[in-house]
Amino acid sequence: MKAIIGGTGFDRMEGLSLSQRVVRTRYGEVELYLGEGADEGLIFLPRHGSGHSVAPHMIDHRSNIQALADYHVTETVAIYAVGSVTNRLRPGEVGIVGDYVDFTGRVHTFFDEGTVKHARVDECFSPLLRDRARQARADLVDNLVYVTTNGPRLETKAEIAFFARQGFDVVGMTLGGEATLLAEKEIPHLGLVYSINWAAGVGEGSIAFISDERIEDMKGEITQLCRAILSI
Ligand code: HPA
């Protein structure tokens, strides 16, 4: 099985044959979409729920990732809307995450009972999926550093200036937990980011989001990219 995890802007995937399912995991229930016909073998998981009703700090990442593990998912492309902290990835551009920092303070682990285990996350993104993404689109900005904030508020200018000084490129509220849990389950993961705004104090100074029309175009582009990466 292959999975696409969608976030802000990607609560639905257009152009795929999917049917909704609510599945029960040992941690909680998860709403996901199973591919049918030509799209059989694909799972689409909207991390905020299909109506975008779950705030980033309230997402039950553990149930979500457990559901993918229960379906024996072996390849995951996860899409994250981000703010641009530096001009390595500018609003309207798509890139690949190479590393992450998690400043949320949330605990994300499957290893909190029984044997003590420490997952490695120093090379947690799949080189194979990354190569396929690079082959599909040579213009993708690569090796971005994603800093995860708790949200749901956006950041202060001082926070973003601090992140820029540390060498972080993009900011969002969800990748840290997901990447950690996927690593614990040893499920190969590609993080695709698309920037929808300059973060606080960057660019024109005040937070400016790209237009809804531009977001729609980017959704089309990214859907095509996911198809190429996962051969669907
Ligand atoms: N900050 C945090 N998360 C985000 C942003 C941002 O500016 N844009 C999209 N997700």
pLDDT tens for each residue of the chain, 232 residues long: 999 999 988 888 888 899 999 999 999 999 999 999 989 999 999 998 877 788 899 999 999 999 999 999 999 999 999 999 999 999 999 999 999 999 998 889 999 888 889 999 999 999 999 999 999 999 999 999 999 999 999 999 999 999 999 999 999 999 999 999 999 999 999 999 999 999 999 987 788 899 999 999 999 999 999 999 999 8
Q: CA-CA-CA-CA torsion for 7, 107, 158, 210, nearest 10 degrees?
A: 0
Give the contacts of 45 (CB within 8 A, at least 6 positions apart).
3, 4, 5, 6, 30, 32, 33, 64, 67, 68
How far, in Å, is the centroid of ligand 1 from the Cα of 106?
A: 18
Which H or E run contains 5?
strand 2-6
Give the angle subtended at the CA of 20 by the CAs of 16 and 26, to the nearest 5°: 125
CA of 83 to the centre of ligand 1 (A): 4
Which residue ranges have their beta carbon within 6 Å of ligand 1?
81-83, 149, 154-155, 171-173, 196-197, 199
Phi, psi of 72 (to 5 degrees): 55, 45
Q: Which atom of ligand 1 is nearest to the CA of 173?
A: 3
199 alpha carbon – ligand 1 mean position (Å): 7
User: What is the per-residue pLDDT for 14?
Assistant: 84
pTM value? 0.95
Nearest CA owner, ligand 1 atom 6: 83
Rounded Cα distance between 196 and 175, Å, is 16
Tell the residue nearest (CA) to atom 3 of ligand 1: 172
Closest residue (by CA) to atom 10 of ligand 1?
82
**Per-residue pLDDT, 45:** 96
Calpha distance 167→164 (Å, rounded): 5
- What pLDDT is attached to residue 195? 96
Tell me what pLDDT residue 115 has: 80
Ligand 1 binding pocket mutation candidate from 48, 94, 154 (most atoms within 8 A of CB): 154
The pLDDT value recorded for residue 69 is 98
For the chain, domains (ranges, CATH) are 2-229 (3.40.50.1580)
